[in-house]
Amino acid sequence: MMKKAWLLSIPLMLVLSGGGVSAKSFEQIALEQRPGIVAVISLGHQGVSLGTGFLIEARGYVLTNFHVIQQGTLIGVKFYNGDIYDAEMLTYDEDKDIAILKINGADFPTVPLGNSSQLKIGEQVIAIGNPLGQEGVVTPGRIKRVCYVRSSTVLCGRKPKKYDYQLIETSTPLLPGNSGGPLINTRGEVIGVNTLRSNYPSINFAVPINYAKNLLSQLQNGANRQEKLVAKLHRRNNAFPTKEVGNALIQSLWLEPNILLEGEMGLQFHINFLIEGYARQNCSAKIFFYYSDGHKVLNRTKDYTTADGQAFVQRSFVPEYSRSSFQDFTLFIPYYALPPDLPLFAEVVIFDPFGKRLVSQSSNPFYLSTPYLQGWLPQR
């Protein structure tokens, strides 16, 4: 169990709100599924995020929305009976806004999953969640229609020829704190993950549960997708091929220009990565800069320079757990440390405590234009 000092105090209650449906049947469903539904609390630099999750596997897999835990450096789950556990993220799909967390333990109560491809328009459903910090609130509604997301736009109506994924539109009222909670049919099966509310109480959206079942299947069929990718990266890089030595995976890398930091304008690199095997040990992330032809960029200043003169930037970090996830980890380099008017690229490398490479990834090429940088380059 985790320390409770950082958790919010959440009242425990079961509320059945709304009308027009069989309260008895829904109340029975809520009582049966309540043990497997949890509050998800995420604490990060931007404050506390509170949502809902539910157990989808007895070994401690918790399904929730990705946006609930996206900024979290500490993640916890709280059961209805008051039990509190540390959680870590195993895998996620940012586009569909779903994530699977892991808590330590076994034989947890689970919530049965249905088949979202068999839902019927007009069928009755309930949402169970923690709106505005009230735990276990049950709100009934109906399935209104299936909508389609294309290029981040929700299209409700005729099915388009091409779309990225589907959403379930429901009349079930959702409030902040419902995010990540189950949308349950009258058979007591989860058919969606509540994720999005509109300005109108009767227009709300859930992610079809079949997308989450695909993520769960990947976990069950080989630990998880990310560990498989780690193994492939290590084979390709011929570095630390055995899991016992330690693993890392760079999930995403992007560059943000024109960041002003301590009076200097420059580039900020954002990295999402996983590391395994180095709990409470000092590791590091470094970025090395190259010309487009592969030659090293030699720094023109004493700062941001390796022993052999290559332009680089580094930042240390200490994983808290044996498997830790770092989201939006940033490294900054000022414009004056890089040459203008030449195409460059960056190589991001994660190092273990002994200075050996675990994994690396190169950025897309970028170009610093002299007129654009005028005023931010040092005067010669």
Q: Which residue has the tokens 């328009």?
A: 121
Cβ distance 22 to 11 under 8 Å? no
Cβ distance 299 to 337 under 8 Å? yes
**Which of 116, 179, 360, 363 is an active site residue?**
179
Q: How far apart are CA 19 and CA 12, in angstroms?
A: 22
Q: What's 14's DSSP letter?
A: E
How big is the CA angle at 338 (ends 337 and 343), to the nearest 5 degrees? 175
Q: How far apart are CA 49 and CA 365, in angstroms?
A: 36
Tokens of 101: 């967390």
**Which of 67, 116, 234, 352 is an active site residue?**
67
Cβ distance 374 to 306 under 8 Å? no
Amino acid at 376: W
Q: How far apart are CA 129 and CA 10, in angstroms?
A: 12
Q: How many other CB atoms are found less than 10 A from the CB of residue 103?
A: 24
295 is catalytic: no
179 is catalytic: yes
Q: What's 337's DSSP letter?
A: G
Q: How far apart are CA 241 and CA 243, in angstroms?
A: 7
**Which of 42, 97, 116, 363 is an active site residue?**
97
Q: Which among 166, 160, 164, 116 has a CA at the least distance from the CA of 146?
A: 166
Residue 30, φ and ψ in degrees, nearest 5: -60, -40
Q: How far apart are CA 123 and CA 145, in angstroms?
A: 10
Name the 3-class secondary structure at 210: helix
Contacts of 106 (CB under 8 A, 6+ apart): 58, 59, 60
Cβ distance 94 to 87 under 8 Å? no
Cβ distance 225 to 132 under 8 Å? no
- Number of residues assigned to the chain: 380
Q: How far apart are CA 139 and CA 141, in angstroms?
A: 7
107 is catalytic: no
Question: Which residues are catalytically annotated?
Answer: 67, 97, 179
